[in-house]
Amino acid sequence: MDAFEIIFTTTLWVAAIRIASPLIFATLGELICERAGILNLGIEGIMVAGSFAGWVTVYAGGDLWLGVLVAALVGAIFGLLHGVLVVPLGLSQHVTGIGITLLASSLTYFVYRLLFPSLTSPPRITPFQPLPLPGLSQIPFLGEALFSQTALTYLAFIAVGVVAYILYRTPIGLAVRTVGENPAAVEAQGIDVTWIRIGAVMCGSALMAIGGAFLTMSAVDAFYINMVNGRGWICIALVVFGSWRPGKALLGAVLFAAFDAYQIRLQQKYGTAIPYQVFLMLPYILSILALVVMSRRAGYPRALMVPYRKGER
Amino acid sequence: MRLEPRAETSLALNLLAPVSALVVSLIICGLLVAIAGAAILPTFGLVVKGAFGSQFALLETLTRSTPLIFTGLAAAVAFRAKLWNIGAEAQLYMGAIVCVVLGTGLVPLPSVVLIPLILIAGALAGALTLLGPALLKTRFGVDEVVTTLLLNFIILLFVSLLLEGPLKDPMGMGWPQSSRVIADATLPKLIHGKRLHLGFVLAVLSAVTVWFINARTTFGYEMRAVGHNARAAAFAGIPVNAVMVKTALLSGGLAGLAGVSEVAGLKGNLTLDLSPGFGYTGIVVAMLALLNPLAVIATAIFVAAIFVGADAMSRSAGVPSYIANVMVAVSLLSMVVAVMFTRFKVSWK
């Protein structure tokens, strides 16, 4: 099989959709924050915290869905902290976000080491199992790639629709989009900018944490230190690539994941001729390239990173 | 609740800010120590003893602070001009690579020539690593936060590639590590038989130099002007993009020096764990110092003390050493909050 034929194999696309799932959750999460005018660089740490919180809940005997819920709650709590620091207090969103990432990941690793002081191999849980959808999974190619995944992957795709619906079709979505463009206009309508922004950051952070939980509860069955490995930063690039639109962000995440799955297969094929590190670099390089191409016509939310103070112009 | 800018900040308030940030951090970490089942005050005592309790501990703290002074300065310089360089980790490793390439016998020169050469070349490598993201920012408007962050991962993989390929130590028993730098490329120790090396002196000199540039030169003024209000600076005739690029070169160069200093001064060779996140921790060091280059020396020693002390404490008290990372993150967040309250007052109405 040559390099070109790999693109048309079902296994590639099954892997691509699986790799895309955590990115879809976290990209949606970052998108909601940025749509409300808040850059959330806490994403990397929040994913770490979510991956551990979900996994440890199940390890302690909880139900898988309870694990997802706990991860979301932990994410929302870090979101609340970020929101309070950058919205009413107006602190630098860059510095605070880095601080949240450092705090969330170090707290997670602290608790992990506390609960599991000396380990040779990480303890395992029974993760989400593939759930072929009756009927749909029988469709050739698509059925296997899209409709034989785990429940959490279906949730990722449903989340895209729900977030798009809320953002574009509901009053609350309009309020979120407007606080990211022109907060004073929202204030004039008698809506509290502060709470809309904090709420958006909390919801977004909850989604990021579920993205992290996907890694430990669906992709694999254990928690490792450094397992998020820059996925959060890639999601920030994906938001720009998707022009802050849920549908385009989904497309970006799937394309990115397909490329990632493809490089893994190329690596197996040409691993002896080209060092494997070159293949591992490709996703990060691709993210930077995507940013360069898209930044020229990027329609940033106009109030992104602009603190809002009532009555100030 | 609303925040109103203060007309002036009293000295007492300025001193209160770091103290209250420290108190908040200690309370939160105390809680974690209690959760870990250890006695709070004795555990803190062990941290302080581990960091400053003996000549060995003190020298170890200063040794650990050396790369943090460099990366702290790198962040302080860049953040002052609102250039968000989160890629000091990558710049550090590029400096380290160049140090290993030149310092392992490729250029047999006497140490008086070779050491300045690897320092300059390492700084240059770090500077060029940040030049890319800086040009992408000024030319294409690409956000440097994401590009510098992603470069960290790319460069670390590049190091891994080199250590398993061209720079692999033939005597390394298969470990991914480089050969050791030759004696003429090794930074001399400050005290015979101890680990503290010339890098610490160079770091302190760099801090003084950066302070001088900031406070006494036109370039320093331009950096501050661009950071304060880039549009106003442009109206005043300051070439904003050129200042950004020059700032990037200075910041990247400082981070590159951290890599040279760690390899040539302490470790002797390049490995994949040369830096346990010095680049990221440098951001905390810079923020705790309120971006003041001279204060960076003090805050780097403070942060180094937390890490060295927590390592020692963790061995005897059984509290995971990640408590140091928590402490550092909490002190960053509480410091930025405390500083905010020195500049604004809260009015309830």
Average pLDDT of each block of 10 consecutive residues along chain A (313 residues)? 78 93 98 96 98 97 96 98 95 95 97 86 89 84 84 96 97 94 90 95 98 95 92 93 93 92 85 84 89 78 83 62
Say yes or no: A113 contacts chain B, CB-CB below 8 A.
yes
Contact A103 B164 (CB under 8 A): no
Q: With respect to residue B187, please indicate whether it lies within any of the assigned structural domains.
A: yes
Q: How high is the pLDDT of residue B226?
A: 93
Q: Which of A115-124, A285-294, B186-195, B330-339 has the lowest mean pLDDT?
A: A115-124
Is pLDDT larger for residue B13 or for residue A150? A150
Q: With respect to residue B76, please indicate whether it lies within any of the assigned structural domains.
A: yes
Return the residue of A nearest to B164 by Cα.
Answer: A275
CB B326 within 8 A of CB B30: no
For residue A95, the chain B residues in CB contact (below 8 A) are: 79, 283, 287, 332, 336
Q: How high is the pLDDT of residue A298?
A: 67
Say yes or no: A273 contacts chain B, CB-CB below 8 A.
no
CA distances from A240 to A196, A302, B260 (A): 22, 14, 35
Cβ neighbours for B344, distance < 8 A, ≥ 6 positions apart: B3, B4, B5, B6
For residue A94, the chain B residues in CB contact (below 8 A) are: 84, 145
Q: Which amino acid is at A307?
A: P
Distance CA A270, CA A187 (A): 58
Say yes or no: A114 contacts chain B, CB-CB below 8 A.
yes
Whether B219 has a pLDDT exceeding 70, the answer reads: yes
Return the residue of B nearest to A111 by Cα.
Answer: B320
Contact A287 B140 (CB under 8 A): no
Give the closest of A41, A91, A113 to B337, CB-based.
Answer: A91
For residue A244, the chain B residues in CB contact (below 8 A) are: none
Distance CA B95, CA B127 (A): 9
Q: With respect to residue B195, please indicate whether it lies within any of the assigned structural domains.
A: yes
Closest CA to A23 of A236, A189, A302: A236
Give the closest of B36, B150, B152 to A287, CB-based.
Answer: B150
Q: What is the DSSP string of A220-272?
A: -SS--TT-STTHHHHHHHHHHHTTT-HHHHHHHHHHHHHHHHHHHHHHHHHTT
Contact A291 B161 (CB under 8 A): no
Residue of A291, A294, A306 to mutate for B, most B C-beta atoms under 10 A: A291
Q: Which structural domain, as residue segments, surrounds residue B240?
A: 69-289
Q: With respect to residue B258, please indicate whether it lies within any of the assigned structural domains.
A: yes
Contact A89 B337 (CB under 8 A): yes
Q: Which amino acid is at B118?
A: I
Distance CA A204, CA A206 (A): 5
Element (H, E) at A96: helix A93-115
Q: With respect to residue B296, please indicate whether it lies within any of the assigned structural domains.
A: no
For residue A295, the chain B residues in CB contact (below 8 A) are: 140-143
b/e for B249-260, b at 16 or more Cβ within 10 A? bbbbbbbbbbbb
Residue A91 C-beta-side C-alpha neighbours within 13 Å: 27
Location of structure tokens 């061995």:
B315
Whether B348 has a pLDDT exceeding 80, the answer reads: no
Distance CA A239, CA A256 (A): 12
Give the closest of B149, B320, B326 to A233, CB-based.
Answer: B149
For residue A287, the chain B residues in CB contact (below 8 A) are: 146, 150
For residue A113, the chain B residues in CB contact (below 8 A) are: 320, 322
Say yes or no: A297 contacts chain B, CB-CB below 8 A.
no
Whether B7 has a pLDDT exceeding 90, the answer reads: no
Q: With respect to residue B334, please indicate whether it lies within any of the assigned structural domains.
A: no
Q: How high is the pLDDT of residue B301?
A: 97
Give the closest of A95, A240, A278 to B336, CB-based.
Answer: A95
Is pLDDT larger for residue B175 or for residue A19? A19
**Token digits of residue A8:** 């048309």
Distance CA A182, CA A299 (A): 14
For residue B136, the chain A residues in CB contact (below 8 A) are: 291-292
Whether B8 has a pLDDT exceeding 90, the answer reads: no
Task: Give residues 116 to 155 of A whose Cβ lies within 8 Å of B.
Answer: 117
Contact A288 B287 (CB under 8 A): no
Backbone angles phi and psi of A229, in degrees to 5 = 50, 45
**Using CB atoms within 10 A of its CB, is residue B73 exposed (0-12), middle (13-18) or buried (19+)?**
buried
Location of structure tokens 């892997």:
A15
Closest CA to A21 of A219, A226, A188, A204: A219
CB B119 within 8 A of CB B259: no
Rounded to an integer, the average pLDDT of B276-296 is 95
Q: With respect to residue B171, please indicate whether it lies within any of the assigned structural domains.
A: yes
Closest CA to A212 of A78, A26, A27, A70: A26
Q: What tens digit of pLDDT does each residue of B145-169 get? A: 989 999 999 999 999 999 998 999 8
Q: How high is the pLDDT of residue B346?
A: 80
- Give the Cβ contact number of residue A294 at 10 Å: 17
ipTM: 0.93
Q: How many domains does chain B have?
A: 1
Q: With respect to residue B11, please indicate whether it lies within any of the assigned structural domains.
A: no
Answer positive or negative: Cα dihedral of A20, A22, A25, A26: negative
**Token digits of residue B68:** 């943090």
Q: What tens digit of pLDDT does each residue of B99-142 get? A: 999 999 888 899 999 999 999 999 999 999 999 999 999 998 89
CA distances from A9 to A5, A235, A280 (A): 7, 26, 21
What confidence category does residue B68 fall into, taking pLDDT thresholds of 50, 70 and 90?
Answer: very high
Answer positive or negative: Cα dihedral of A231, A234, A235, A238: negative
Q: How high is the pLDDT of residue A313?
A: 54
Contact B326 A103 (CB under 8 A): yes
Angle B213-B216-B219 from CA coordinates, rounded to 5°: 55
